[in-house]
Amino acid sequence: MDSKVNDQITDSVTQANVKVVGDAPAIAMGNLYQSLAHSTGILFQNAVNAQNQQNILAQAAANQGIMQIYSLDIVSEAIAVSKILNGNVAMIIKKD
């Protein structure tokens, strides 16, 4: 039971297949560019997050230093710390 298929039908199917094959490289490059853009976006998000974490760490360290400075309740301790910070450790050792 062999039947003849209309040439218009076979031509339309062939043209659709050729279009799919012809569009494949463009679609592949579009997917590649979209993936690259997404990866770059994630890269910048991670950079911003890392910078934020470094700022939090710096604030915590500064806070600890200020808390230590304010915890000095005796003037002699404050003077000794000041001399240590200025590099006059020998004067403190001789005095004690």
Q: What is the pTM of this model?
A: 0.51
pLDDT value, residue 59:
96
pLDDT value, residue 86:
81
Which of 36-50, 53-67, 69-83 has the highest average model confidence (pLDDT)? 36-50
Which three-class secondary structure state does DSSP give residue 43? helix
**Predicted confidence band at 54 (pLDDT cuts at 50, 70, 90)?**
very high
Q: Is the Cβ–Cβ distance between 83 and 95 less than 8 Å?
A: no
CA 60 – CA 85 distance, rounded (Å): 21
**Predicted confidence band at 15 (pLDDT cuts at 50, 70, 90)?**
confident
Place of tokens 């463009």: 26
pLDDT higher than threshold 60 for residue 25: yes
pLDDT higher than threshold 80 for residue 10: no
| 74/46: higher pLDDT | 46
Query: Radius of gyration (Cα) for the chain, nearest Å?
Result: 37
Q: Where are the domains of the chain?
A: 8-95
